[in-house]
Amino acid sequence: MAVAVTGASGQLGRLVVEALLADGVETVAIVRDPAKIEDLAERGVRVRQASYDDPAALDAALAGVDRLLLISGSEIGQRVAQHTNVIRAAERTGVDLLAYTSIPLATENPMILAQDHRGTEEVLATATVPTVVLRNSWYWENYAAGAAHAAQTGVLTGASGDGKVSGATRADYAAAAAKVLTSEGHEGRVYELGGDDALTGADLAATIARVTGEPVRYENLTEADYAAVLRQAGLPDAVAATLADADTGIAAGLLEVDTGDLRTLLGTAPTSPVEALRAILS
């Protein structure tokens, strides 16, 4: 069985490839720039070059592939068309199962980040290839810069209020994806994936304090003020607006997941926030 991963040079994609390699699975890594994963090629990964915008290259990259993980792209606003190119290529080349990394509650989630996922899931719903949707909640790694800054200043800022986020590490989500790609019974499933520990902003601040030994408090801002803070930190306007909007989504409970799906797929407890932040801040 050959399993392919798109976006394999990215942070999540590389971890999925590593998990598949550890299981001895024949793995195909699909990337725009093969030079970024020369080390994986040296370890036996079959590297194929294709972008989400090139249907012909995608057809060639998926030749002989049995199962495919479509990792969502990064170009917000263009992703539905790009993902559709991958889905159609999977149909043309006879892929047996296509898994897609989405976001919690995608069909009803109003967050900016959710819009392309909703559109992609609509395409998947009518696809002729069997599908499984992996609705990943927040990565604990998303807090790396904010946690480091909070440890230095004593203040963690955000706009999530008392809302909780069920985070997990990229490695946990990658392991869950690898499990779906290498086992049976997942066709047609939609997994809402998140860690066992759902944290508010204040909980996260306390966890950072526990890990670093430095006092940290949470300061809740309006969405507009938080976006301004992110812009002042050097983020582009669109990125700052998207992240501030995500915090508003957290405040509304849109990234709180209590299904236990991640634990079930992993067969063990996901990485705790303390363990995750300790690794992030080390």
pLDDT digits (tens, 9 = 90+) for 80-133: 999 999 999 999 999 999 999 999 999 999 999 999 999 999 999 999 999 999
Alpha carbon distance 118, 109 (integer Å): 8
Nearest to 230 by CA among 165, 158, 280: 158
Alpha carbon distance 48, 24 (integer Å): 19
pLDDT digits (tens, 9 = 90+) for 193-215: 999 999 999 999 999 999 999 99
The pair phi, psi for residue 139, each rounded to 5°, is -85, 135
Sort 29 into a burial class: Cβ within 10 Å, 0-12 / 13-18 / 19+: buried
- Contact indicator for 199, 138 with CB cutoff of 8 Å: no
DSSP run (H or E) holding 29: strand 26-31
pLDDT digits (tens, 9 = 90+) for 4-25: 999 999 999 999 999 999 999 9
* Strand duo 217-220 + 131-136: pairing: unpaired
